[in-house]
Structure 1
Amino acid sequence: MNKIIGTLVLVNALGVWGSTLEVLQQRVVVNSSELCILPITAGLLKWDRQPGFVNQVAYIPKLVNSPDLPSWLRYTYDGYNSIGYIYGVPPVHLSSVNLDIIGWNRGDFYDVRKLIISLEIVPKESMKYVAEFKVDNLNIKDMANPRRMGELVDILSDQLSWGNNGAKVVPIFMASAVALGENRVPVKPNEAEGVVVHFASDLDFSPELKKLQVEVQSLWKLRPCPRDLKRTSVERYFRKHNILVDWCTFRLTTLTDSSVEDVDGQVKKEAGGTSHLYRAADDESVNLPSEPEIFTFRSEIPNRTYGFEILLSTIIPGSIGGLVGFLLIVLDQDALFFEAAFRTLFSMLRIKYPRNGSQYIYHQTPQQDVGVVVMTRDNGIDHSSVVMDEDLTPIPPQYTETHPKYVTVIFA
């Protein structure tokens, strides 16, 4: 949202002050086949005061009479320092390029100024010996800083003795590791994406570099490479400047004469297997899908009916559910029927076959005729009028009791 508002303010400012817009010019000489980095600062646009807050001064770089930069140039912005960087490798067939830089200062009432940079390209043959690095803890805006790039050049030239014989070590390629597919976008925003950078020289590699390649050759099969998997013998030179190199991607490549031809005539095809990096960084090399040869109108496309699918999706589940419900009801009724039949049969068996032939003995008292009446359960009880209950308790043990009419009943 802030970017959109800033762009609208810039358009309004250009429309109001277009006739009085201050235009500045700068001339820069660069070599073809070498990486050129153009820092855009507030001082180039003649703003005396340094930026006091983040994203105070913003820039829009483009080609003159064009809405965007050419395909071989990229732009990155360091909002913390309000510095923009234009970087790329100039092609051999170009002699000069004019760039428009539109800058506006949020800290100075959105003052808008324009800078025209004239790039004069000096033809230079591509260098034969290339060293490929990938730095994990830096972004493009960090590596575009001349101090960072100078530290890597000094390490290669002095510490690794690549420039002892008067050889000039220069960067020839730089791109984001995420854009090339070498790294994934970090989960934490404060982590760096990584940078792939190549250095080249006219002279052969130093013995230290050749020894380093033999040392890390066993790590080439590891992708991605853990940062602390292996510490090389030259690790101290890079760690001193807080540079973490991915040694699994370190390569020393020697270009041949047939590997320096391209559509633009610049170095993008290497025999050592690095051409995919250049092709990935070049927008023009992407194969876009072509238009279809046969065009079909929407009305000519047959319509698909979903009636059968809907019917099928409802009948099958409904049939299965009905069958399951019917089986559950039938099984439940069967269970009730068997339970009732079992209870009836059990009651009939208890009535027909009593447990013990218990006898009831009545004793008369002395006032009456003393006699003993022996009654059995079969004789004294009419089975036809007895309804047996399934919850009857067992027959209690024998006991004697005095009857109210002084008749003693003995259960035997």
Structure 2
Amino acid sequence: MLKLNLILLLKIISFSYGLKEENVLQTEVFQVTINPSMFNWTYSNEQYTYEITLAGAPDLPSWLKYVYSNKHHSVFVYGVAPIGKKSVSLDVVALNRKTYETRVEQIKINIAEKLNPALYEVYLKINNINVEDMFDVERMEALKDIFRKELWKDSGTDLYVTYLNSALDIGARKPPNPTEEEGVVIRLGSQEAFSHEMIGLQEEVRPLWKMTLCPFKRTSVERYFRTAGFALDWCLFRLIGENNSAIGVNEKLSYQEPNDVLIDTISKDDIPKRDYFNDYLLATMVPIGINLILVCLVSFIICAKHDSLKDEESEKFFNEIFHICTDCVDDCKRDERELTPPQEPGKYEGMSNEPLYAINSDMSLSPEPMLFSLTNSPTSTLGHGVHCRPSPPPYVRPKFKPEL
């Protein structure tokens, strides 16, 4: 809406140079060149920008496209005039980037019916050119001459272009190098039937149609196109007959006014309201019910006692295993008591708790730790059994003569 208001405002404040008209034919590709001379400006390198829209609309219709050519410093508006349309008007807004001067021009395209439209078409994809290159008259005529003189000689009088578009618009990948060409798809049509050379060429490339990635392929007519500077993608080569049937090719173009399409809308109040209570109940109660059933089932299996689960042989086996283990323990304890000699009562009763003393070299008494440990230590080996080894005698310092 803002763009539309801007265009209307520019129309009021801009100087108009008069309405320009273009005459085109239905089912045939046309192109309108927009350059600085249309606005009485001189040519300059990328000094001007253009905005093209349908009169009274914010954009162009689907059957019209435009592309800017850096080589020609111009904009090419191209497309195929649809059947059932008499005329269209385009608004062209030009902007001078240096002075910010804006000018508006209007172009009226008059559409006439084409006599003897094409009944047969050939569909091509050319990899080494761009769309704006096909607006060069010499290049376009070189492509037509290949069919007029070599492949489709009967079409020399009425051969014309019925479709032209960039390869990117049909799903091709953008080249990684910006300087490389994007490629174009083009259809040439005529009323004359296909020649034997054209039919034979389609049969030659038919095995390539089923391949996802088209391999490098040179056909028997490759020399004609290479000499003229065209590198074709033979996987997309098609011949289209009267019924417009071909693999991977769009149907015939048609046009319908936007105002003719009636959309039966409904109000917001008429939109049915959905009750989510049942969905919520279903989403919560079903999992809870399943979990309760599983808990009850597991509890019944674990806690319930069944007579069929009792096995007398198993009970007897486990009881015998238990008695065998207890008998072994009792036998071991009995053997240990038999091997241990009885302790004589009162044998160590006379020993006092006072520490023992040893006689030193100076005839003095001192506590002897080893003797003390042999009597009062809890780890003493006395009374441990007849098989225990007795402790060695206490160590006494030898007496040496002073002169030694």
Q: How would you bin the TM-score normalised by the shorter chain? A: 0.5 to 0.7
CA positional deviation for 1:402? 4.1
Residue 113 of structure 1 pairs with residue 104 of structure 2: yes
Say if 1:75 and 1:84, in contact at 8 Å, map to a contact too: no
Pick one of 206, 209, 220 that aligns with 1:217.
Answer: 206
Whole-Å separation in 1 of the counterparts to 2:211 and 2:266: 41
Look up the SS of the partner of 1:60 in the other structure: strand
Describe the shift of the 1:350–1:289 C-alpha distance in structure 2 as closer, same or farther (beyond 3 A).
farther
Measure, in 1, the Cα distance between the counterparts of 2:119 and 2:166: 23
Displacement after TM superposition at 1:97 (Å) = 4.9
Cα distance, 1:21 vs. partner?
2.1
Match of 1:352 in 2: 330
Mapping for residues 78-93 of structure 1, pairs under 5 Å: 78=68, 80=70, 83-90=74-81
Alignment partner of 1:134 out of 122, 125, 147: 125
Q: CA 1:135–1:23 in structure 2 vs 1: closer, same or farther (change >3 Å)?
A: same
Following TM superposition, by how much is the alpha carbon of 1:318 offset from its aligned partner in structure 2, in angstroms? 9.1
Does the 8 Å CA contact 2:32/2:78 hold for their aligned counterparts? yes
Q: TM-score if structure 2 supplies the norm length? A: 0.59
* Correspondence for 2:339 among 377, 394, 403: 377
Conserved in 1, the CA contact under 8 Å of 2:168 and 2:174?
A: no
Instruction: Give the TM-score, by structure 1 length.
Output: 0.58
Q: Does the 8 A contact of 1:21 with 1:114 survive in 2?
A: no
Shift of 1:199: 0.5
Q: Cα distance 1:351–1:116, how it changes in 2: closer, same or farther (>3 A)?
A: closer
Residue 117 of structure 2 aligns to which amino acid in structure 1? S
Instruction: Give deviations 1:209-236, integer Å, cap 9, x for gaps.
Output: 343223113334x154x33253212234
Secondary structure, in 3 states, of the residue corresponding to 1:284?
coil
TM superposition shift of 1:85? 2.7
- Which of 185, 199, 220 is the matching residue for 1:233? 220
- What is the CA distance between 1:345 and its match in structure 2? 8.8
Q: 8 Å contact 2:133–2:139 — kept in the other structure? A: yes
Indicate the percent of aligned positions where both proteins have the same amino acid: 23
* Distance in structure 2 (CA, Å) of the matches to 1:133 and 1:219: 14
299 and 60 in structure 1: CA distance in 2 versus 1, 3 angstrom threshold: same
Matches of 1:141 and 1:353, distance apart in 2:
111
Q: Distance in 1 between matches of 2:187 and 2:332?
A: 108
The within-5 A match list for 1:5-404 is 12=6, 15=9, 18-52=12-46, 56-63=48-55, 69=60, 73-78=63-68, 80=70, 83-90=74-81, 97-119=88-110, 121=112, 123-135=114-126, 140=131, 143=134, 149-158=140-149, 160-163=150-153, 166-175=156-165, 183=171, 195-220=184-209, 222=210, 224=212, 226-239=213-226, 243-255=230-242, 270-273=243-246, 277-279=250-252, 281-282=253-254, 284=256, 291=264, 297-298=270-271, 301-305=274-278, 306-313=280-287, 351-354=329-332, 376-377=338-339, 379-380=341-342, 401-402=389-390
Structure 1 residues 185 and 24: alpha-carbon distance in aligned structure 2, compared to 1, 3 A threshold: farther
CA–CA separation in structure 1 for the residues paired with 2:67 and 2:49: 10
| Alignment check: 8 A CA contact 1:132 1:198 kept | yes
Aligned to 1:232, the other structure's residue is in SS state coil
Secondary structure of the 1:85 match is: strand
What SS does the corresponding residue of 2:277 show, helix, strand or coil?
coil
Task: Write out per-residue CA displacement over residues 207-263 of structure 1, whole angstroms, 9 at most, x where no aligned residue.
Answer: 54343223113334x154x332532122344456664433233223443xxxxxxxx
Aligned mates of 1:12, 1:321 — CA distance in 2 = 73
Query: Is the 8 Å Cα contact of residues 95 and 101 (structure 2) preserved in structure 1?
Result: yes
State whether residues 62 and 69 of structure 1, in contact with CA within 8 Å, keep that contact through their aligned partners in structure 2.
yes
User: How far did 1:177 drift?
Assistant: 5.7
Separation in 1, partners of 2:388, 2:83: 133
State how far apart, in whole Å, the 2-side matches of 1:35 and 1:20 are: 32
Can you list the C-alpha shifts for 1:271-316, whole angstroms capped at 9, x where unaligned? Answer: 544897235x546399989648999734654443414523544675
Shift of residue 125, structure 1, vs aligned partner: 1.5
Counterpart for residue 349 of structure 2: none
Report the secondary structure of 1:167's partner residue. coil
C-alpha distance in structure 2 between counterparts of 1:345 and 1:285, whole Å: 103
Q: CA deviation at 1:121?
A: 3.2
Q: Partners of 1:189 and 1:314 in 2: how far apart? A: 61
- What is the aligned-residue RMSD (CA, Å)? 5.3
**Contact 1:172/1:198 (8 A) holds in 2:** yes
Take 1:137 and 1:345, find their aligned partners in 2: how far apart are those partners?
A: 99
Higher Cα Rg, which structure: 2
Question: Residue 198 of structure 2: SS of its match in structure 1?
Answer: helix
Task: Name stretches of at least 5 consecutive residues in structure 1 with no aligned partner.
Answer: 256-269, 328-343, 359-374, 382-397, 406-412
Task: Quote the offset at 1:171 in angstroms.
Answer: 0.5
